[in-house]
């Protein structure tokens, strides 16, 4: 009982989280020939972070060119943001991971010490 | 005669059915899906203590605070956690000498006793600064990340005065 109460308190006391879905995205054909797209969703429960950088990587974590409306997205506290990622057909099969990384501001008075990164994988 | 009786029977049955209470039945489904997801929570933001002129440490005994990261996964074997202690300052005054970095990543707490083997099953990368944990059980895991920075490359030189920040990276990577 005591353990479950402690766990519940710990879970409820958390106010700083970063989440991105889906875990296993799929490429879909876009309106433009030779271009594929996928849609991702992010949720920001980190009060100390407002900006997230998007990246697409191959199996060896080398960056792959892609297009989004912004490579650094503003996701306000407690907001969900959906964004599309576009890639050329040539790079579609090379892309292995799509990641979002919290951007920490050096001039922030809180000086956050933890950067969070979530990577979904193309299977 | 038979026709009259049959007609009366049909009419009677029709009238009865009109006056009988009707039960409206509707089936409403409530659908739900459990989607695999990973959440990186910054439970405790850390800071450095300065026990002497040449050391910055997150150890509480030296007035520091060890950052705690919680990673939640909703599906077993979908993600691995990669936690790294810092090996450089993200912001600091100008430093002319070498900083020696040490640190440790450890499982602090788990939501299930089945996760007790996480630390033993973990591996390291990036010269030991990154520890990789395959998250083989759904639930929450708390990781503590301690960090020590010593200035002067063993010569115990005093850190220049100013504000110092280093970053712990908590990653959740789909398997």
Q: pLDDT digits over A12-30, tens only?
A: 344 589 999 999 999 999 9
Please name the residue ranges forming H helices in chain A: 2-13, 89-92
Inter-chain residue contact B43 with A22, CB threshold 8 Å:
no
Please write the tens of the pLDDT for every residue from A21-66.
999 999 999 999 999 999 999 999 998 899 999 999 999 999 999 9
Triad B173, A47, B104: Cα angle to 5°: 50
B21 part of a folded domain: no
CATH code, domain carrying B104: 2.60.40
pLDDT the model gives residue B17: 54
Higher pLDDT, B134 or B31: B134
CA nearest A69: which of A90, A84, A48? A84
Average pLDDT over residues A97-111: 77
B10 part of a folded domain: no
Inter-chain residue contact A116 with B79, CB threshold 8 Å:
no
Burial of A70 (0-12, 13-18, 19+ CB in 10 A): exposed
Number of domains making up chain B: 1
Q: Collect all residues of chain B within an 8 Å Cβ-Cβ radius of residue A45.
A: 41
Q: Collect all residues of chain B within an 8 Å Cβ-Cβ radius of residue A44.
A: none
Token pair for A15: 């106010």
**B42: nearest CB among A13, A46, A120:** A46
Domain A16-121 carries which CATH code?
A: 2.60.40.10
B33 part of a folded domain: no
pLDDT the model gives residue A8: 38
Average pLDDT over residues B75-83: 95
Inter-chain residue contact B38 with A19, CB threshold 8 Å:
yes
């Amino acid at each position: 009982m005591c353990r479950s109460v402690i766990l519940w308190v710990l879970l409820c006391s958390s106010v700083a989280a970063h989440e991105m879905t889906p875990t296993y995205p799929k490429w879909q054909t876009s309106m433009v020939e030779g271009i594929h797209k996928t849609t991702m969703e992010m949720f920001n429960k980190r009060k100390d972070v407002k900006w997230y950088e998007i990246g697409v990587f191959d199996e060896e974590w080398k960056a792959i060119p892609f297009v989004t409306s912004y490579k650094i997205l503003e996701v306000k506290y407690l907001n969900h943001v959906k964004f599309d990622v576009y890639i050329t057909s040539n790079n579609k099969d090379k892309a292995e991971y799509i990641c979002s990384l919290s951007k920490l501001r050096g001039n922030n008075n809180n000086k956050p010490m933890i950067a969070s990164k979530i990577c979904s994988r193309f299977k | 005669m038979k026709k009259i009786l049959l007609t009366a029977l049909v009419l009677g049955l029709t009238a009865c059915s009109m006056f009988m209470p009707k039960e409206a039945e509707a089936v409403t489904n409530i659908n739900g899906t459990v989607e695999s997801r990973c959440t990186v929570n910054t439970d405790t933001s850390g800071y450095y203590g300065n026990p002497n002129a040449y050391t910055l440490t997150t150890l509480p005994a030296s007035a520091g605070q060890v950052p705690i990261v919680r990673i939640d996964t909703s599906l077993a074997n979908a993600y691995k956690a990669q936690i790294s202690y810092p090996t450089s300052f993200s912001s600091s005054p100008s430093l002319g000498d070498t900083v020696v970095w040490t640190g440790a990543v450890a499982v602090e707490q788990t939501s299930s006793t089945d996760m007790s083997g996480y630390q033993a099953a973990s591996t390291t990368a990036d010269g030991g600064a990154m520890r990789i944990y395959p998250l083989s059980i759904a639930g929450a895991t708390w990781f503590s990340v301690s960090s020590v920075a010593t200035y002067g490359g063993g010569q115990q030189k005093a850190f220049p005065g100013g504000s110092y920040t280093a970053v712990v990276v908590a990653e959740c990577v789909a398997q």
